[in-house]
Amino acid sequence: MNFRGLKRRLTAPIEDFRRLGDTVDTEHGPLTWIDRGGDVLAVAHLDYVLWNPKPKITRQYENVKIRKCPQLDDRLGAWMVLDVLPRAGIRCDVLLTDSEELGKSTAQFFQPPKQYNWLMQFDRAGSDAVMYDYEDDDSESLLEYYGYQVGSGSFTDICYLEHLECKGFNFGVGYHGQHTKKCYANLTETFNSFRKVQSMWKDCEDVHMPHDPNAPKKKKINYWDWRHTSCSYPVSKVITRYPDDGNDAGRTPVEEGYEDQMEVDFSKADDDILNDVAMEWYNQPYDDLTDKCQDDCESELEAIRKENKELFGEEGPDRF
């Protein structure tokens, strides 16, 4: 494996990716589509929250570890779709996006020139997989068949691609500590996940997996806690709906105007509550949510800019 190519993907400015395919400029940044003659679309975002121009890449026995690289989210995914997939004989078209970390991914502007069978993305910590609003019983069973634990997620680029009317999957790519200066990845974990994708692609490359954007969404329990430094979502705590069973363990008071929605402190909730609580985000478009807290986003971005300069000096590009 060419790890010099990996370092190049991790440290290249976004502008360097424009020449790889057909690029259009949108109000939220560039969108690049690469035609490789595939029936599956692989997606990655090139923006990031923090930046280190000199990430550490070291070998540990059979493992390769990348350390101090906050832009692994999602430059590691970009390396996967641009370099690892074709080396493994996986033929997919590629979509490279911007502004995912702001919740305004340029994926929303993509108008596909053809019908894709399904979508994949590598923008997930660890090694499980998530499907967001694409999930149904059949697609969940499919992932479990290939050895994936199906988790819950908040947002990534494919959330804006439901208009392609095919299923989308976001696979864990082995990074941890995303959006922090200590972000790292073990490539052993990365490729353990990738081998499952490889098997799935071999069996399902030619299988069209239809998706109806207007179909009822499957509700899942989501244990995700908002500790990120980006401003993709304005919701600071998980919003929940729960059965009126009279058991208030772990529940905090409802805010005025949200009497049918509750916040749950999972440190106090027992297993029965965790199993019963059905979690979902506000039924509002992502743009409405981000506009609603624009002032908070701006102040948070200013703090990110300051931390970026303190950590890496003037070498760190100011992506925001």
pLDDT digits (tens, 9 = 90+) for 54-77: 999 998 777 899 999 999 999 999
Contact between 173 and 190 under an 8 Å Cβ cutoff? The reply is: yes
C-alpha separations of 127 from 71, 139, 149, 154, 176 in Å: 18, 17, 8, 16, 10
The answer to whether residue 129 is domain-embedded is: yes
Residue 96 β-bridge partners: 32, 44
Q: Which two structure tokens, joined as six digits, stand for 153? A: 């997620």
The answer to whether residue 8 is domain-embedded is: yes
pLDDT at 201 over 50: yes
pLDDT band at 244 (very low <50, low <70, confident <90, very high): very low
Task: Kindly state the average pLDDT of the residues 101-108.
Answer: 96
Same domain, 51 and 186: yes
The answer to whether residue 233 is domain-embedded is: no
Residue 22 β-bridge partners: 33
Same domain, 24 and 81: yes
Task: Kindly state the average pLDDT of the residues 73-85.
Answer: 97
Same domain, 131 and 254: no
The answer to whether residue 297 is domain-embedded is: yes
The answer to whether residue 51 is domain-embedded is: yes
Q: Quote the pLDDT of residue 308.
A: 63
Least confident window among 13-17, 22-26, 208-212, 284-288:
284-288
Number of structural domains found in the chain? 2
pLDDT at 294 over 60: no
Q: 220-233 pLDDT, tens per residue?
A: 544 333 233 333 33
Q: Quote the pLDDT of residue 226.
A: 29
pLDDT band at 192 (very low <50, low <70, confident <90, very high): very high
Same domain, 16 and 139: yes
Q: 31-58 pLDDT, tens per residue?
A: 999 999 999 999 999 999 999 999 999 9
Q: Is 292 helix (H, G, I), strand (E, B) or coil?
A: helix
Q: Quote the pLDDT of residue 110.
A: 98
Same domain, 152 and 248: no
If one compares 260 and 75, the residue with the highest pLDDT of the two is 75
Helix axes 3-11, 72-79, angle to 10 degrees: 140
What span, in angstroms and rounded, lies between the C-alpha atoms of 156 and 159?
A: 6
CATH code: domain of residue 198:
3.40.630.10
Q: Is the dihedral of CA 116, 101, 262, 125 positive or negative?
A: positive
Q: Quote the pLDDT of residue 60.
A: 76
Highest mean pLDDT among 159-163, 292-296, 315-319 belongs to 159-163
C-alpha 287 chain-centroid distance: 17
The answer to whether residue 216 is domain-embedded is: no
Q: For residue 295, give every residue at least 6 positions away whose Cβ sits within 8 Å of its Cβ, in sequence order, or none.
A: none
Same domain, 74 and 196: yes
Same domain, 33 and 178: yes
Task: Kindly state the average pLDDT of the residues 94-117.
Answer: 97
Same domain, 148 and 191: yes
Range of the domain at 309: 239-315
The answer to whether residue 246 is domain-embedded is: yes
pLDDT at 147 over 90: yes
pLDDT, mean over the chain: 78
Same domain, 89 and 159: yes
pLDDT at 234 over 90: no
The answer to whether residue 219 is domain-embedded is: no
Same domain, 33 and 128: yes
pLDDT band at 1 (very low <50, low <70, confident <90, very high): low
Q: Quote the pLDDT of residue 89.
A: 95
Contact between 120 and 92 under an 8 Å Cβ cutoff? The reply is: yes
What span, in angstroms and rounded, lies between the C-alpha atoms of 109 and 223?
A: 30
Task: Kindly state the average pLDDT of the residues 237-242.
Answer: 30
Same domain, 194 and 278: no
pLDDT at 305 over 90: no
Same domain, 27 and 163: yes
